[in-house]
Amino acid sequence: MAAQRSAAETALRVEVESTPYRFLKQLSGGAMGEVVLVEHVELGERRVMKLLRSSLAGVEDLALRMRTEARVLTKLDSPHVVRVYDFGRTESGRPYLVMEALEGCTLKELVQAEGWRSAAQVKEIARQILLGLEQVHRLSIVHRDLKPDNVFYCRSAGDKSVGVPLVKILDFGIVRVVEDEARAKLGHVAPTAEGMLVGTPAYLAPEQAIGLRVGHSADLYSTGAILWFLLVGRAPFQRETQLDLLRAHVMDAPSAPSAEVDAQRRADVTQLDAFILRALEKKPEDRFGSASEMLAALESLPKLEPSVVAPASASVVPVSTAVEATVPGLPVFSPAARPDVRPTIRMSDAQAAQAAQRSGRARSERVLSEPQASGVRSAHPYELRGAALTWAKVGVGVLALVAVLLVIAILLQRMNR
């Protein structure tokens, strides 16, 4: 086994050194490719190289996605978006992308290692994500796969007063360009067939879950889901199957983050309830109108004073960067989360009203009451009752089946070319 690893590393070293870069060490690897720490031969600067796996080098859609990511990122000038320096192919034809070397970890790794964040820390992380999204959206680009794995927590810089360093958005491989003028500036961008599911189910917007065309609002929904994760330590919806997870995004009302934490933290987390729940609205028009509007709403919140101290930072954090790109146009899912079984939570009227606040507008009902004999009482626009709920499940299942059939048809068409 050790001999095989050594041979694989030697082959990777030869591959990398057929480019203008010197191999230093492999950082990670997966089904899609490898991530390597490299040094520019002439300039001596350290960078991170992401290479598409050799077995996939001939898959033009994947190579095009990597080139799309390079084109998009070179157009962006934000400290909150990872910087790309180069794109090319190795001597054997493997596409590679060279980006800045970041010291730290992803938000997912952070929470797995250290646990939840305080409301003040989450507010600062949200501010930086939204600053990055402002720049992304100005180029008429939708990220479409925002999740804790694709936001990097840099240890070397940032606002240390609230315990949050610099935050950067990663992985622009499945972006969508929403305007013709922007598309012309970026050149050919790998297309996604209408009706195809792209993204990661735990964090994608309801319109993505049913294969509709998405706009910038989908990224705002995903941002809300990331913030929910940071406060609670898991994604907003936990379901046993991927289909049920998609259905939850479309039909189920998320609980307020404060309803999912212990009593000691509730006052702290409640400060962000209304903000996050608005971002997680089912209909795009009910969310914030833009990243700028969401940022303004965040900054208008009173200064957050944590009532409890967040977990202390670990002394050793691995260097990491995203490599596992979501394959575009195919229903590729992250590993299913462990089913979370917990009792129904009843909130007081005052808590419910506070959690339901939407930019000064109180909603009359919250879906946090216990199930009654006649069903769950709810005012949510996507919530259905009785037989209607059954038909809705059937509808989502049919949509998923249609998406799979479309994928098969496209693959067969390519094989026949």
Sheet order of strands, 46-52 included: 21-29, 33-40, 46-52, 95-100, 84-89
One domain for residues 279 and 398 = no
pLDDT in tens, 79-94: 999 998 999 999 999 9
Residue whose pair of structure tokens reads 């419910």 in the numeric block: 352
One domain for residues 252 and 123 = yes
3-state secondary structure (DSSP) of residue 261: coil
Q: Is residue 366 part of a domain?
A: no
Domain total in the chain: 3
Residue whose pair of structure tokens reads 């705002």 in the numeric block: 220
What is the rounded CA–CA span in Å between residue 132 and residue 141?
A: 12
One domain for residues 93 and 108 = no
Expressed as residue numbers, the domain containing 308 is 104-327
Q: Is the pLDDT of residue 210 over 50?
A: yes
pLDDT tier at 161 (50, 70, 90 boundaries)?
Answer: low
One domain for residues 290 and 408 = no
Q: Is residue 343 part of a domain?
A: no
pLDDT in tens, 175-198: 454 444 444 444 444 444 444 455
Q: Is the pLDDT of residue 147 over 90?
A: yes
Q: Is residue 377 part of a domain?
A: no
One domain for residues 76 and 142 = no
pLDDT tier at 338 (50, 70, 90 boundaries)?
Answer: very low
DSSP 211-247: T----HHHHHHHHHHHHHHHHHSS-S---SSHHHHHH
User: Mean pLDDT across the stretch 91-115?
Assistant: 93
One domain for residues 198 and 317 = yes
One domain for residues 158 and 284 = yes
Q: Is residue 357 part of a domain?
A: no
Helix (H), strand (E) at residue 168: strand 164-169
Q: Which of 100, 127, 151 is the last residue of a domain?
A: 100
One domain for residues 215 and 318 = yes
Q: Which of 73, 100, 127 is the last residue of a domain?
A: 100
pLDDT in tens, 242-272: 899 999 999 999 999 999 999 999 999 999 9
Q: Is residue 341 part of a domain?
A: no
One domain for residues 218 and 244 = yes
Residue whose pair of structure tokens reads 């260097």 in the numeric block: 319
Q: Is residue 308 part of a domain?
A: yes
Q: So which residues are the catalytic ones?
A: 145
Q: Is residue 335 part of a domain?
A: no
Q: How far apart are the first and last CA of the chain?
A: 40
Q: Which of 68, 100, 132 is the last residue of a domain?
A: 100
Tokens of 299: 């900054």
What's 9's domain CATH number? 3.30.200.20
One domain for residues 176 and 210 = yes
What's 321's domain CATH number? 1.10.510.10
Q: Is residue 365 part of a domain?
A: no
One domain for residues 297 and 397 = no
pLDDT tier at 200 (50, 70, 90 boundaries)?
Answer: confident
What is the rounded CA–CA span in Å between residue 352 and residue 365?
A: 8
* CA within 13 Å, CB half, 294: 37
Percent of residues in the chain assigned helix, strand, coil, to nearest 5: 40, 15, 45
One domain for residues 238 and 166 = yes
